[in-house]
Amino acid sequence: MLDLSVVIPVSNEEDSLGPLWDELRSALERLRLTWEVVFVDDGSRDRSAEIIRGFREHDDRARLVRLKAQGGETAATDAGFKAARGRWVVTMDADLQNDPADIPRLLAMLDRWDAVTGWRVNRAAGDTLLRRISSRVANRVRNWLSDETVHDSGCTFRAFRRECLRGLVLYRGLHRFVPTLLKIRGFRVIEVPVNHRPRRFGRSKYGVMNRAFVAFADLLAVRWMKSRLLAYEVAEDLGGGLLPE
């Protein structure tokens, strides 16, 4: 088994992929681990898949998983989880706003925690005022409805022990709530500060208003799941040994 898989959903990111691959290789080589980068092409209409194939021609640690049609970020993330072969799994965006140099900090926390999620403490450098305000409001609403204390639910720069992902069932839009879904299942999750950089190419795939309405509906689904969580203790179990073959 490999030490590390980095899973990156890709949707029309042809301009950012070259710089991202260079930064990733530089950061990962210093870790002295066995690793792979799983690029999941979510129905891109540009040269993204072609560029990733070019990476693999020179380095077989670059992998391409290409979806037949655009399924959204949750689908791409789930496909990457299923393809990953590492005992640790990192997820990050392809737009260069996540800093590969933060990966060692995330992995270091997996000695004591099951999952680590990023907290973009310097968003002034990478986002507009409207986006920062909307995210702050969204986080407060999310924490109120889900009974959580998450500082940055929109950050998908995360690291996991592989066992966290076994049996994890995702539905459309729920990639935002993976830390909460893991907590529901009893895993230990922590937030750590990560760097957040200005977008260099293209535009965000999410608008402020359309993301708010969809995320709120998803939040209600997560709240329902938490309210229906089974909670019981077995008082006695007689005769529960293995049956003879």
Taking Cα atoms as reference points, which of 146, 117, 121, 118 lies closest to residue 132? 121
Look at residue 148 and tell me whether its pLDDT is greater than 70. Answer: no
pLDDT in tens, 191-217: 999 998 988 886 665 554 555 566 666
d(Cα 152, Cα 116) in Å, to the nearest integer?
12
DSSP 101: G
pLDDT above 70: percentage of residues in the chain? 75
d(Cα 95, Cα 20) in Å, to the nearest integer?
8
pLDDT value of residue 135: 57
- Give, in words, the CATH class of 2-227: alpha beta
Q: Are 161 and 115 in contact (CB under 8 A)?
A: yes
Nearest 5°: phi and psi at 37? Answer: -120, 120
Taking Cα atoms as reference points, which of 31, 9, 30 lies closest to residue 20? 9
Q: E-strand spans in 140-181?
A: 158-161
- Angstrom CA distances, 168 to 139, 163, 175, 180, 185, stand at 23, 10, 11, 12, 9
Q: What angle do CA 221, 227, 230 make, to 5 degrees?
A: 115
Reported pTM = 0.80
- Angstrom CA distances, 88 to 36, 37, 116, 192, stand at 11, 12, 11, 17
